């Protein structure tokens, strides 16, 4: 998928009304990093529309601080970013699905990182815990009592790591949470995966439409009518509807603002959401700056009154919102130099940001009023984020344990690593059950005079599989090769940011292929390099080299599995072993080279060329 490709993905798009859009090959981009650059950037967007060009823009939440006359923090940039195109391709929902799958197949076939075509999230953490959340909600209620605000949309961040690719993750999440305002951006510096259900503002031939979303109820055990009749949620929604009406009145023709549908309910993933629709007629000669001055950020993600509530948000939230709670919009060419053309913007909620280090960020929050049940608000946030946080793991885990004399060697090391990885990937497990399973299988299958390798596999659903086989002698397999010589230049580098590398998962096709080819060539393993040219590991071993009497092995940050025997060697002072970033030159010039794995221990090898 080419960089700077943007899919605006409306799951309700049909063959007769193709409302999904693909934008490719931008002519140029527009960025505002400071308050001084905002006016010129917004003018550039309108100028592009006047030239007959199409624009897609992301307005970060912090842009609203400027528009509301509040202080901008130093670390708030970029405030907005836009991309200008000559046109776009309209797609139905079926066509968008086909397009996405074709992009994914192409990407998977080109990938040297994830040959197993699996994507998901792991290492999930929250920017606060329930206790801190509840403390902040009490502060908000104190401010409501004192008359500072009526409602505060309080949010926090969820962070984690992506394994696989952003596109692969988008496809999985799209199945769980189809949206009318989905979006997939694959850009040079970040990827944006949005599953927003909320309509911010749209203009069609001068008719403005806003559809604020406020009010939430779990789908499990409830009906839409339960939310529609809930007084607390209706009050919460009505506060924001009044705010939106006032915002639109500032840029609308006199007397044209009206509420069309109040307290509608729609299903979004595992929750029901309450929406209301506000319509108006856009005043002539309204610029993009005037439009955003009046309406941005959307009142549903601030609260009311907007300016004072944004000050409260800034004092309570520890993380910048950035794109979260901002807006994503398309802007079509306009026919009149002084007016805005047709446009549509969504509120950037239920949105995942992915950086080039595979780190993900996701924001979630809820509207707090004096009638809010604090504990229920916490549960609501967890429920809203569950489509991401509870995404089933798409890989399994395994450990290969040496057995001799019916004894399991280094068993506690293996169990500790397996449990740690299971927790990291959200795989259900029962340690006692796993231990009993392993030991009973060993007792059933082993002859005390033989050596075995016992493979225990913990599947993504928590089920167990085992395989036991005799541990063959290494024989003369004391040679190692470069992985690129075994697999080809296209597999020369692995991505050190891939979190799967730090865990013993079932997604190891490339590594298994490497050591098997090494065996065919008369060796034991092949050594991989990362994208920086740093040594990482072998397909089934860690590597140590001796330099001036001491042993050195690459640190985990280079992109490798923290092997059991590696850990033992590093902790044993007799080896005088240390972590250090190593190059191919270091390996070639090393006094000695050693490999380690739990089955074989530590053993000396030599680096050899491939004999064709």
CA distance 505 to 507: 5
Q: Quick one: tokens of 456? A: 């225990």
Token pair, residue 242, equals 């009044």
CB atoms within 10 A of CB 424: 18
- Do 213 and 275 form a contact (C-beta atoms < 8 A)? yes
Active-site residue (options: 62, 198, 377, 534): 198
Angle between helices 288-295 and 231-249 (to 10 degrees): 150
What distance in Å separates the CA atoms of residue 415 and residue 405, rounded to the nearest whole number?
20
* Closest-CA residue to 8 (of 17, 19, 21): 21
CA–CA separation, 143 and 3 (whole Å): 46
239 vs 100: CA distance, rounded Å: 39
Concerning whether 214 is annotated as a catalytic residue, the answer is yes
**Residue 607 near residue 585, CB atoms below 8 Å:** no
Q: Which residue, among 254, 250, 263, 273, has the nearest Cα to 180 in the 3D structure?
A: 273
In the numeric block, the tokens 């959200």 are attached to 426
| H or E, element range at 471 | none
3-class secondary structure, 573: helix
CA pair distance 78, 62, nearest whole angstrom: 9
**Which is the catalytic residue, given 211, 214, 384, 504?**
214
- Spatial separation of the C-alpha atoms in residues 123 and 415, rounded to whole Å: 19
Of the candidates 231, 241, 232, the residue with the CA atom closest to the CA atom of residue 261: 241
CA 464 to chain centre: 28
Give alpha helix (H) positions in 426-508: 431-445, 483-487
Active site residue 479: no
Just list the catalytic residues: 198, 214
């Amino acid at each position: 998928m080419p960089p700077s490709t943007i899919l605006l993905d409306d799951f309700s798009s049909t063959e007769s009304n193709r409302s999904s859009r693909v934008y490719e090959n931008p002519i140029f981009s527009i960025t505002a990093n400071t308050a001084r650059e905002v006016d010129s950037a917004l003018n550039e967007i309108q100028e592009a529309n006047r030239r007959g060009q199409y624009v897609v823009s992301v307005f970060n939440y912090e842009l609203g601080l400027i528009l509301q006359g509040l202080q901008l923090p130093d670390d708030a940039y970029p405030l907005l970013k836009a991309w200008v195109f000559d046109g776009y391709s309209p797609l139905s929902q079926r066509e968008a699905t086909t397009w996405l799958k074709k992009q994914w197949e192409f990407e998977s076939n080109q990938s040297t990182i994830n040959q197993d075509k699996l994507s998901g999230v792991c290492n999930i953490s929250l920017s606060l815990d329930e206790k801190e959340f509840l403390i902040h909600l009490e502060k908000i209620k104190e401010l409501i009592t004192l008359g500072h605000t009526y409602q505060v949309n309080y949010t926090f961040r969820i962070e984690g790591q992506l394994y696989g690719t952003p596109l692969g993750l988008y496809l999985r999440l799209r199945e769980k949470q189809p949206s009318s305002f989905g979006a997939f951006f694959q850009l040079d510096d970040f990827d944006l995966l949005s599953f927003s259900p909320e309509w911010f503002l749209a203009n069609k031939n001068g008719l403005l439409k806003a559809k604020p979303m406020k009010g939430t109820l779990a789908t499990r055990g409830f009906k839409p009518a339960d939310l529609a009749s809930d007084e607390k949620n209706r009050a919460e929604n009505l506060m924001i509807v009044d705010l939106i009406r006032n915002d639109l009145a500032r840029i609308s023709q006199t007397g044209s603002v009206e509420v069309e549908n109040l307290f509608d309910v729609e299903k979004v993933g595992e929750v029901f959401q309450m929406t209301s629709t506000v319509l108006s007629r856009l005043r002539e000669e309204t610029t993009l700056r005037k439009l955003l001055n009046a309406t941005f950020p959307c009142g549903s993600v601030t609260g009311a009154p907007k300016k004072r509530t944004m000050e409260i948000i800034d004092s309570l939230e520890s993380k910048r919102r950035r794109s979260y709670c901002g807006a994503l919009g398309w802007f079509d060419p306009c026919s009149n130099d002084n007016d805005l053309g047709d446009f549509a913007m969504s509120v950037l909620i239920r949105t995942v940001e992915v950086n080039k280090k595979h780190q993900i960020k996701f924001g979630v929050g809820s509207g707090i009023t004096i009638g809010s049940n604090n504990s229920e608000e916490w549960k609501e946030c967890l429920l809203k984020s569950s489509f991401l946080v509870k995404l089933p793991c798409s890989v399994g885990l395994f450990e290969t344990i040496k057995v001799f004399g019916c004894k399991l060697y280094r068993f506690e090391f293996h169990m500790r690593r397996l449990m740690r990885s299971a927790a990291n990937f959200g795989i259900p497990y029962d340690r006692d059950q796993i231990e009993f399973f392993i030991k009973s299988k060993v007792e059933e299958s082993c002859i005390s005079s033989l050596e075995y390798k016992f493979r225990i596999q913990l599947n993504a659903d928590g089920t167990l599989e085992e395989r036991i086989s005799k541990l063959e002698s290494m024989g003369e397999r004391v040679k190692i090769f470069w992985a690129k010589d075994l697999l080809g230049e296209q597999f020369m580098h692995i991505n050190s940011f891939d979190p799967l590398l730090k865990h013993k998962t079932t997604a190891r096709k490339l590594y298994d292929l490497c050591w098997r080819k090494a065996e065919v060539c008369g060796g034991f393993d092949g050594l991989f390099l990362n994208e920086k040219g740093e040594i990482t590991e072998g397909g089934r071993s860690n590597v140590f080299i001796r330099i001036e009497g001491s042993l050195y092995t690459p640190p985990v940050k280079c992109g490798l599995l923290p092997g059991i025997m590696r850990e033992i060697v590093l902790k044993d002072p007799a080896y005088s072993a240390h972590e250090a970033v190593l190059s191919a030159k270091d390996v070639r010039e090393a006094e000695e080279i050693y490999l380690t794995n739990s089955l074989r221990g530590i053993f000396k090898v030599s680096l050899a060329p491939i004999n064709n």
